[in-house]
Amino acid sequence: MHIEATHSLDTATLDRLLDAALSEGRLIGAEAWLAVNGQSVYHRAAGWADREAGVAMRPNGLFRLASLSKLYTSCAAIRLAARGVLRLDAAVSDYLPYFAPRLADGSQPVITLRQLLTHTAGLGYGFLEPAGGGAYHAAGVSDGLDHAAISLEENLRRLAAQTLWQAPGQGWIYSLATDVIGGVLEAATSLPLPEVMRREVTAPLGLADTAFHAVDPARLGAAYAETEGGPQRMEQAHRLILQPECAGIAYAPARALDQQAFPSGGAGMVGTAADFLALLEALRVGREDWLPREWRDEMMRDQIIGIEMEGWPGWGHGLAGAVLRDPATAGLPASRGSWRWLGAYGHSWLVDPARGVSFVVCTNTALEGSVGAFSGEWLQAVYAALDVERRAA
């Protein structure tokens, strides 16, 4: 899907915000896309792809997608479910017999694919474990961003041997569940996950620049992480602390160049902002030739009514990201039913079906581009620009 650029929106506010974040040193580089009713009204690449080498950020650069990968993996799962290859309410152990983790009391509950997709399976992430490391760290479970020399199956077997953080269906915990979905996809199709992704998502939608490694290494820039002195270049391994009490995220930027790195469905893909916008638009408009509309609607409805998402007031969760329940509680101008998620290398995206809006901002600066101030400022600025246009009309 090709998005043509138009110039019908006053985008000066967006330019000023991006320029300020770059000049203040909060971001090193970024590429932003905004589409309204299927037309691109803003596209800009700015800053540095590699500050130390003096390489500017150019359009169509490659980014380490981190948790933007989850949308691709969820779409592949829903495509297979629509054809009856998967059953969302089946037990994970129906596809992966070894994946049957226990609770602290020794009982072995059933975990379903739907619970994996909604992060209500009782799993967690190693970066959320206590500072100093927990059971996942001790067992060598990878969060999908480091460069562990293990297979996907080995990582899932290590995960399955750990005690669940809570009973499935009890609450929402951000987790390695999408990586488990990747293992399910391999088992259900007898294909490696990169091939499943190619057949189900990237090839049908014409997304030639997205894979589980950099398809053109020359277009992959450096990665940067926040420090007290401003963002610094990540080297071979970098740990970024989200909260003082937590272990923090282990990054390995070179993983994106290794075609032998295990395919993490939750964090391991590499691609362009343009490809990701095309995926968002395919979901927003409901591409019947790719995914039946009723399955798209099921994918993007709030699946966890009655469960709150810690750190996400006013949001619920669908099968492929957060779903806005209450704009006032969330403190956002987006419409009820909007979809959103973030990526730990510094990305954010949103689809507002009611307003016909899709945007993605990929940066190379963790975590300012995702959970930092810039992400919220950008969302507010997008709606300010849209409201100015609507009043002018």
Instruction: Please say if the pLDDT value at position 1 is more than 60.
Output: no
The verdict on 223 and 351 lying in the same domain is yes
Residues 138 and 181 in one domain: yes
pLDDT per position as a tens digit, 149-180: 999 999 999 999 999 999 999 999 999 999 99
Show the DSSP H helices in the chain as ranges: 12-23, 69-82, 113-117, 135-139, 152-160, 177-189, 193-197, 273-285, 293-299, 327-330, 373-392
Is the pLDDT score of 6 beyond 60? no
Domain boundary among 202, 224, 247: 202
Within a domain: 257: no
122 located within any domain: yes
- Domain span at residue 370 reads 12-66+211-236+270-392
Q: Please identify which of the residues 8, 23, 67, 190 carries the catalytic annotation.
A: 67
Whether 67 is catalytic: yes
Q: Which tokens hold the place of 117?
A: 């997709």
- Residue 228 and residue 363 in one domain: yes
Q: Are residues 197 and 110 in the same domain?
A: yes
Q: How many other C-beta atoms lie within 10 A of the C-beta of residue 280?
A: 22
Domain identity same for 82 and 153: yes
Asked if 23 and 85 sit in the same domain, the reply is no
Asked whether the predicted pLDDT for residue 239 surpasses 70, the reply is yes
Among 39, 169, 113, CA closest to 298: 113
Question: Do 194 and 116 share a structural domain?
Answer: yes
What domain count does the chain have? 2
- Contact yes or no for 359/374 (Cβ under 8 A): no
How far apart are the C-alpha atoms of 240 and 255, rounded to whole Å?
A: 17
The CATH number of the domain holding residue 223 is 3.40.710.10
Tell me whether residue 261 is in a domain.
Answer: no
Tally of residues, the chain: 393
Q: In this model, does residue 389 exceed pLDDT 80? A: no
**Domain match, 148 and 224 both:** no
Within this chain, do residues 76 and 17 fall inside the same structural domain, yes or no?
Answer: no
Question: Which residue, 176, 202, 228, sits at the end of a domain?
Answer: 202
Q: What local confidence, expressed as pLDDT, does residue 22 receive?
A: 98
98-108 mean pLDDT:
98
**Domain identity same for 142 and 286:** no
Residue 334 is assigned to a structural domain of this protein: yes
Per-residue pLDDT tens digits for 12-67 = 999 999 999 999 999 999 999 999 999 999 999 999 999 999 999 999 999 999 99
Rounded CA-CA distance 368/347 in Å is 9
Helices 177-189 & 152-160 angle (0-180, nearest 10): 120
